[in-house]
Structure 1
Amino acid sequence: MDIELRHLRAYLALCEEANYTRAAARLHLSQPALTRTIQQLERRVECRLIERSSRRFELTEEGAELLAHSRRIIADIDTVRDELRSRATLDVGFSWLLPDTWFAQTRTRYEALGGRISLHRVEDPMAALADRSIDIAIHRNEIRLPRHLASRVIGTEDRMLAVSVNSPLAHVEDLRWADLASYPLVVNVVSGTIHAGSWDPPYPDRAIITCTNFDEWIELVAADRGIGGVPILARTRAPHPGVVYRDIPDAPPSHVYLTWRAKPAPLRSVQRFLGIARDATPIDD
């Protein structure tokens, strides 16, 4: 039978530790399992690798030769594995309006290291993470995550009011956030950044009009079904002839999040992206 990589890794660990107990612990094996693996290796090379009579751990001449080859083989395989992993395509999902400056910087740094990013416009980033169609989600809505997901805030964005051009609010001066508490509210329940609870206390009889994506949301606002709140980059990135964007000085900011699968341990490509994202220029509009 052929020599397997597990045989060489076990042999290399044993030679480096010069002790079966320590090598077994390092490999997360029982000592008998490690002994059987080394015995299998000796049978497959048809020679003794470790001196049986010595009181110290010593290799035979053949054992020393195999050790040199094992180091080279494993180093070559690990190098190829790491190189291929570094070039893996990372699937990044977003629901709407990427934070462009931050993402451009992060993407450039990630791809400079040999990786590739594939962007996906998804209606529900959490669902896309669950079915593994994306590796990382960029989103703005606060979500109570299941235990297998982890999240990180990567920045904050000022928020502004969105109203129909036909709404009286399109022309009212000196608007404050509290002034908006009783108006009908359009809420994107999947990826929106505001809801009735965004006002404290919430207005008890407020009309709530729900939708499930940004396109529906902006058309409902344009139709004067209700008001909406949105990060300020929408003014330049999502203009609409039926919508007026108004600055509200005391509007609470929204956050931008990265979310990924934390269990089982994330892929190395995901970990690399997260490290680069952490060091990129913070989002702060």
Structure 2
Amino acid sequence: MTIDVRHLRGFLAIAEEGNLTRAAARLHITQPALSRTLQQLEAHLGGRLVDRSTHHLVLTPAGHAFRRRAAAAVAAVDHALDPAQSREWPVRLGHAWSALGAHTTTLLRRWKQRHPETHLELLRVDDRTAGLAAGLVDAAVIRSPIVAPGVRSERLTAEPRMAALADNNPLAGRASLTLADLATQPLALNTVTGSTTLALWPTGGAPTQVLTVKNTDDWLAVITAGDAVGVTVSATAAVHPNPSVRYVPLTDAPAVDVHLAWREPVSHPAVPALRRLARDVVDGAAPPPNGLPA
């Protein structure tokens, strides 16, 4: 039996729906046909992917691991077969928030100068891998480590942490702040992609009031409203300036490492060139003379 993308789509539908009947209806096939598709896939892989012992189907540990690979494979197939990509194959750079900060514009413009034949598409994806694990991007700017088979990364820089406060907050006029200064304030935490957790504070010294959000837009909204303060990095101040927000340096908070991550083998032949350019831009290297390779 040859396994193809139909089997992967069937498995992903089951994983998302948790029910064979709903998954089959979503795919416009019969439940027995979908059940056979799952059995064929499991037989090919040599193990159970789905626990069928309860009415609500759940993934086995092997199923959870395979789900990431299946999602990446299906995304790559869909991208390759998209008619909109027939004339151009862009290299996709993901980020969860703030991209490369003040370096972002330089990266985009210099890429366009050096590689006019290949569009660099900057995509914000609200997950910790910025779309890399799901195969939505070819490379990603990340501020949290990725531990996954086939993923490689290199450190580009470190960004100092800053407090983000509403402009009418009594602390907003300070030249600098400490973590202790923020401990009595409600704290906004982006629990999906943010680099800040309560572990940043010493034991017993963390804020006791926490507002959880799921993306940068919502994080900024609660801060501008004066409902909470936030901790971020210098890139956010560069990419999200706001007259109602003050970004103040934090003197006792460790910097955040910024990495560029990609998969090997690479999903786009331009990834090595993107890696070199990102390094040049962050390091402040001048563009090479005309005619020299990027």
Q: Do both share a fold (TM > 0.5)?
A: yes
1:131 aligns with 2:134: yes
Which residue of 2 is the match for residue 197 of structure 1?
A: 199
Q: Give 2:271's aligned residue.
A: 270
1:137 Cα deviation after fit: 1.2
Q: How many residues are matched?
A: 195
Q: Give the corresponding residue for 1:121.
A: 124
The alignment partner of 1:124 has SS state of: coil
Unaligned runs of 5+ in 1: 1-86
What's the CA shift for 1:181?
3.6
- Which structure is larger by alpha-carbon Rg, 1 or 2? 1
Correspondence 1:157 to 2:162 = no
Gaps of 5+ in 2: 1-87, 285-294
Return closer, same or farther for 1:146/1:173 CA change in 2, 3 Å cut-off: same
| Structure 1 partner of 2:247 | 245
What residue is the counterpart of 2:223 in the other structure? 221
Secondary structure, aligned partner of 1:268: coil
1:53-132 mapped onto 2 (5 Å cutoff): 88-99=89-100, 102-107=103-108, 108-109=110-111, 112-113=114-115, 114-124=117-127, 126=129, 128-132=131-135
C-alpha contact (below 8 Å) 2:140/2:260 kept by paired residues: yes
Q: Do 2:111 and 2:120's aligned partners in 1 also have CA atoms closer than 8 Å?
A: no
State whether residues 160 and 232 of structure 1, in contact with CA within 8 Å, keep that contact through their aligned partners in structure 2.
Answer: yes
Are the counterparts in 1 of residues 96 and 129 from structure 2 also a CA contact under 8 Å?
Answer: no
Q: Is the CA contact (8 Å cut-off) linking 1:185 and 1:207 kept in structure 2? A: yes
Q: Which of the numbers 211, 232, 245 marks the counterpart of 1:230?
A: 232
Q: Structure 1 residues 144 and 202, CA, compared in 2 at 3 Å: closer, same or farther?
A: farther
Q: 1:280 to 1:128 in 2, by over 3 A?
A: same
Shift of 1:166: 4.0
Match of 1:77 in 2: none
- The answer to whether the 8 Å contact 1:176/1:250 transfers is yes
CA distance in 2, matches of 1:127, 1:280: 20
Structure 2 distance, partners of 1:121, 1:245, is 22
Residues 63-118 of structure 1: CA deviation (Å, up to 9, x unaligned): xxxxxxxxxxxxxxxxxxxxxxxx84211122332325534444425762443312
Aligned-residue CA RMSD in angstroms?
3.0
How many angstroms apart in 1 are the aligned matches of 2:130 and 2:176? 40
Please state if 1:211 is matched with 2:245.
no
* Aligned amino acid, residue 136 of structure 1: A
Any conservation in 1 of the 2:130–2:142 contact (CA below 8 Å)?
no
Percent identity over the alignment? 28
Report the Cα distance in structure 2 between the residues aligned to 1:174 and 1:92, rounded to whole angstroms. Answer: 33
Q: Distance in 2 between matches of 1:111 and 1:237?
A: 22
Q: Retained in 2: the 8 A contact 1:181–1:202?
A: no
Q: Is the 8 A contact 1:125 1:137 kept in 2?
A: no
Residues 111 and 117, structure 1, Cα contact 8 Å, conserved in 2: no
Kindly tell me: are residues 120 and 235 of structure 1, through their superposed partners in 2, closer, same or farther at Cα, counting changes over 3 Å? closer
1:278 aligned partner, one-letter code: R
**1:139-162 Cα shifts (integer Å, max 9, x gaps):** 33x234222322222112222111
The 1:174–1:231 alpha-carbon spacing in structure 2 relative to 1, beyond 3 Å, is closer
Q: 1:163 to 1:190 in 2, by over 3 A?
A: same
